[in-house]
Structure formats: C-alpha cells, structure tokens
Homo-oligomer: A and B are copies of this chain.
Amino acid sequence: MIAQFSVVPLGIGASASAHVAKVIRLIDESGLDYRMNPMGTVVEGEWDEVMGLIEKCHRLVLDDVERVLTTVTIDDRKGRTGRITGKVESVEKILGKTVKK
C-alpha cells in the first residue's frame, strides 16, 4: 500500500520546519521508499511497516509539543507494488508527456 501522511505540531510558532526535518530524518532511516512533497510525505510498504513508521514520527513530534495533528491517507490496491512511482507514470503514459513532480 502507499500512504501520504503529515504530522503538524500545534501550540508552537508558525514555522514547523525543524519538526518536519526530524520526521524526514526518521523516514529516511526507515528504509521504506518515500517521496516528500510540500504538503506531506508518501511512503510505500506493508501496513505494519507504514503505520509503525507513522507512529514513531507522531510520537517524536509529540515529545516536543503539547498537541499534534497527524493526517494519513492510505491507497491500498490488491496485488500492486511500485505504485509510489507507478501511479504518476500511468498518467504520464496517457498524456504522452512528463508532468511536474
């Protein structure tokens, strides 16, 4: 399955980039394939791998602040892997050109 998630610290200043950097370091060290975008990070793996990683990221940020808002969107399609790149490639194939990523 693939999942996009974001972990938002509440109760601090308007910038969250220091917390996001700590989260990205954890994702990078997890060994799961990932892609970061301006609104969250997409990871691919089995349920336990992905959710275990998200729990770690959630707790890491909650260590520092009083309240955390974590959002997860899971797209799970039977028998498919490589979708972290495959979904965009399918669209590019139909369009006959590459898109901005």
Task: Kindly state the separation between the CA atoms of A2 and B38 in the bound complex, as whole angstroms.
Answer: 8
Min CB–CB distance A95 → chain B (angstroms): 5
- Give this chain's copy count: 4
Task: Kindly state the separation between the CA atoms of A42 and B12 in the bound complex, as whole angstroms.
Answer: 25
Interface magnitude class on chain A: 35 or more
B87 touches A38 (CB 8 A): yes
Flag A32-47 by CB within 8 Å of B: 1 or 0 each.
0111111110100001
A17 touches B100 (CB 8 A): no
Partner of A94 from the list B14, B18, B67, B99 (CB cut-off 8 Å) is B18
Closest 4 CB pairs of A and B: A11-B14, A21-B94, A4-B39, A67-B77
